[in-house]
Amino acid sequence: MSVPSLTTNILCEQAAIFADIESTHTEPTLYGVTDGKAVGTYLEHKFRAYLETKYTFARSNSASGLDFPDLGVDMKVTAITQPQSSCPFKSARQKIYGLGYGLLVFVYNKEDIPEARTATLNILHAVYVEANRTGDYQITRLIRQILENEGNEDDLMAIMGDKNLPLDEIEAKKIAEELLKNKPPQGYLTISNALQWRLQYSRVIEKAGQVEGIRKLR
């Protein structure tokens, strides 16, 4: 019997089901673990293994850096205490036009159960952010306002300078020219400058299910 291919819609449906199952599961190997990366790796591997029993999909690879390269989706796991993660820096354009791929975000609260020496991961939120919503909220908002108020190239370059986008004047001018022809969608991430982008998810958690392109799965 042939195994169906994974699609983005199926991924979202299965993420919701998996989150329900995982939230009632007790896991001894996570007892006492405080390293968020270790918890994230556990959940990512478990979700992939869960999907592999039902669907076919491409394995993650270093070339794309994505968990689901054929769908153009990356998976992020983060604690509710500070819902954020990092991702590779490619160019300053990502803050304006988005990361270039969608995000499946699991937000958990880990609870240790000392008497049983086990732990549970309660998945408080599961959110899917479409690729065109992965720009930085404040920068895309300001740029859209400038364009709606008949702003010009100088105005756009000024805002990129004010926001310390990591680019030189030549690249800023090139992006400004593109923006005058192609207004960016409103993004909903907060993206901090670093050697890697630091993505913060509080707003997508808050807006999930209220904004087109941000799906509330749980």
Say yes or no to pLDDT of 92 above 70: yes
Which domains are seen in the chain, by residue range?
8-82+100-132+202-216 (3.40.210), 138-181 (no CATH)
Question: Which residues make Cβ contacts (< 8 Å) with residue 105, sequence separation at least 6?
Answer: 75, 76, 77, 78, 83, 125, 126, 127, 128, 129, 201, 204, 205
What is the reported pTM? 0.93
Question: Which residues make Cβ contacts (< 8 Å) with residue 128, sequence separation at least 6?
Answer: 8, 11, 12, 15, 73, 102, 103, 104, 105, 214, 215, 217
The C-alpha atoms of residue 114 and residue 28 are separated, in whole angstroms, by: 10
H/E stretch holding 74: strand 73-79
- pLDDT tens per residue, range 99-110: 999 999 999 999
Rounded mean pLDDT, 143-170: 92
How many residues are listed for the chain in this entry? Answer: 218
Say yes or no to pLDDT of 97 above 90: yes
Q: What is the pLDDT of residue 1?
A: 63
Say yes or no to pLDDT of 195 above 70: no
**Cβ count near 149 (within 10 Å):** 8
User: Which of 28, 10, 217 has its CA nearest to residue 106?
Assistant: 217
